[in-house]
Chains A and B, each alone.
Chain A
Amino acid sequence: MIFKTKITERLLFIFLLIIIPPTTINCQLTTDRNLFTSKSRLQFGNYLYMDRDYLRAAGEFKEFLKSESNDTIVFRLANCYFKIGSFAEAADNFKGLFFGTQLSEEARLLYYESIFFQNDYKSLRELAEEKIYFSSKYSQEIERLKYISYFLDKSTLPDENIVLRNFPDSVQSRLISFYQQKKFPQHKSPTTAAILSTFIPGAGKIYTGEIGDGITSLIATALTTYLAISNFKADHQFRGWLFTGVAAFFYVGNIYGSAASAQIYNARIQFSFDKEVKLFFEQRNYFLPKIDF
């Protein structure tokens, strides 16, 4: 009997010994998981990064980098700022990877991209001209960004051949068209429009392409003038002066309107050109490679 009990006890002991350790270890793992250790923060940050929740991922990476250093995470942190549009912070963080890291070339390209997307085209061109923080691996991409920037601000374009040689053959004809539009914009002169309308009411508006408005102005001025004369002839002094005032208002208004119409025309031309150029480069991702880690 005693022998049997001892065997049972031993068997139970062996059974528990086999069952308990994995349970214990498993529980231990869960129990010891502090959600705010740097390892946990890194795991959670990476999850958020993959989930494109960049703002929160940046927060986790920042906390992680307080206790540990990791180039990939610095790159990811910078990229998080880049993705959420905080380009100044992105540029600062990419700067930290310029020397002594394997991600140096990519960081330099993304640094240039950060400056480009801050619309700081002048600084971008200066840095590229002086080859400051320049990437030898991505030199062509940086050069392209430099020349794209000329299309996006009011600076004078360099020689056509210099600009075009950096871009692929498939887009050459479009770029030549953009170049010509930028260099020789089809603007209308507000002074010419005003002078034309002084001599023939509505002519200035017709000059700016507002044909319907121009003809209406001409008819309105002519009719009110006729009504003024007609009323004076019928000895209706009050109505005569009233229509004289209306005619004068139409005449002066039409001169001012023609000058304004020319300015609106120029602004419209500029706006549609800027929009078209931006869309063209955006659709091609500014000829930039996709870099991610």
Chain B
Amino acid sequence: MKFRFAIIFFLSALLFPVKAQDHLSIQFGYANNLFNSKLYFDAITEYKRLQFFDSAKTYNYDLNFKIGECYKAGAKYDFAVKYFSFAELSARNDDEYYDSKTQIIRTNILRRTTDRALQLCDELEKDQRFISKKDEINYWRGWTYIFADDWEKAAKSFAKINFRHELKIFAEQTDKAKVSVTFAKVISYILPGSGAIYCGKFLSGLMSLGWNFLAGFWTINSFVEDRIFDGVVIAELVWLRFYRGAIQNAEEFAVEKNLEVANKSLRYLQNEYKGIKP
């Protein structure tokens, strides 16, 4: 009888850890609900609470990963990288390690620490465990170049995945839509205002051309009429001012145009693109 009683007692005692586990999982579920409701600040609090009371560190990886995701969603990228790094350290298998590492890359892309993101991509690529993940690594490398405004290299990275990759075509289109700053400046040296016209600023380009013609006429006219000093002063103060202005304008317009093109493409990627984003 005593023995049977002891067996029952022993079995009931065995049930307790299951119940204890439930408590932690309930808390994890509660924190996940907050996370899914995009209440990131509260979610972090609850994940941290669970992390504090989870003395067996059962949820260590998941919690660090989730906290990192919360910080990332709240644009606190430095904290996000810190927690993804903790997740990387507490990863229980290669998949978890890979996931946390890619999250670190994605966060670096968002905070525009391009060199670090590329360095991490290279590290992952060299790692023999992730030989099958090459496409994914190239995908994030492409995104890194997009955020670094290097659309040509981005297209090359996406081309390594698939020559007809959607983002490869898109990056090429963006690169083609951009104008050359050097070319805009050079043609402005030859014909003032042409750089602005090349960048699509027709009125500004024509005005610049007009001012240069007028100032040039005054200068030459002064020399023709033997008013040498007059000619030198007009050339220096008026003609050169418009000539230099045309070159400067060409450069500024080209930079501005490139920025517009890049921003338009980024807006498209942010709002319209359906694939995975950093």
Contact = CB atoms under 8 A, between A and B. Distances in A.
Given A9-B3, A223-B237, A47 B20 contact: no
Contact of B20 (A13, A27, A223): A27
Please indicate which of the listed interface residues A24, A35, A230 has the most CB atoms of chain B within 10 Å of its own CB: A35
Interface stretch (B132-140, B185-193, B225-233, B248-256): B225-233
A53 B48 contact: yes
Given A27-B17, A27-B20, A223 B233 contact: yes
Interface in A217-246: 220, 223-224, 226-227, 230-231, 234, 239
B20 A17 contact: no
A33 B23 contact: yes
A187 to B, nearest CB: 35
How many of chain B's residues touch chain A, expressed as a range? 20 to 34
A43 B23 contact: no
B13 interface: yes
Nearest to B15: A27
Nearest to B12: A24
Contacts of B230: 227, 230-231, 234
B10 A20 contact: yes
B112 interface: no
Contacts of A285: none
Given A227-B234, A239-B218, A31 B52 contact: no
Given A35-B50, A43-B52, A223-B237, A27 B16 contact: yes
Nearest to B226: A234
Given A31-B20, A35-B53, A223-B237, A16 B10 contact: yes
Contacts of A267: none
Contact of A30 (B3, B17, B218): B17
A43 B53 CA distance: 9
Contact of A23 (B2, B13, B23, B234): B13
Contacts of A27: 13, 16-17, 19-20
A30 B6 contact: no
Given A24-B13, A28-B16, A35-B27, A17 B6 contact: yes
Contacts of A20: 6, 9-10, 13
A134 interface: no
Nearest to A36: B49
B45 A234 contact: no
A31 B227 contact: no
Interface in A18-69: 19-20, 23-24, 27-28, 30-31, 33, 35, 40, 43-44, 47-48, 53, 56, 59
A56 B3 CA distance: 51
A56 B227 contact: no
Nearest to A55: B41
Given A56-B48, A231-B230, A33 B2 contact: no
B225 A31 contact: no
Given A9-B2, A24-B16, A27-B17, A16 B48 contact: no
Contacts of A17: 6
A77 to B, nearest CB: 16
Contacts of B23: 30-31, 33, 35
Interface in B21-65: 23, 27, 44-45, 48-50, 52-53
Contacts of B225: 234
A23 B53 CA distance: 19
A27 B19 CA distance: 9
A231 to B, nearest CB: 7
B45 A56 contact: yes
A190 to B, nearest CB: 29
A176 interface: no
B63 to A, nearest CB: 13
Given A27-B17, A27-B20, 9 more contacts: A10-B2, A13-B2, A16-B7, A16-B9, A30-B17, A30-B23, A223-B237, A231-B230, A234-B230
Question: Shortest 7 CB-CB distances between A and B: which pairs?
Answer: A27-B16, A30-B20, A9-B3, A16-B6, A24-B13, A31-B20, A13-B6
Interface of A: 9-10, 12-13, 16-17, 19-20, 23-24, 27-28, 30-31, 33, 35, 40, 43-44, 47-48, 53, 56, 59, 220, 223-224, 226-227, 230-231, 234, 239
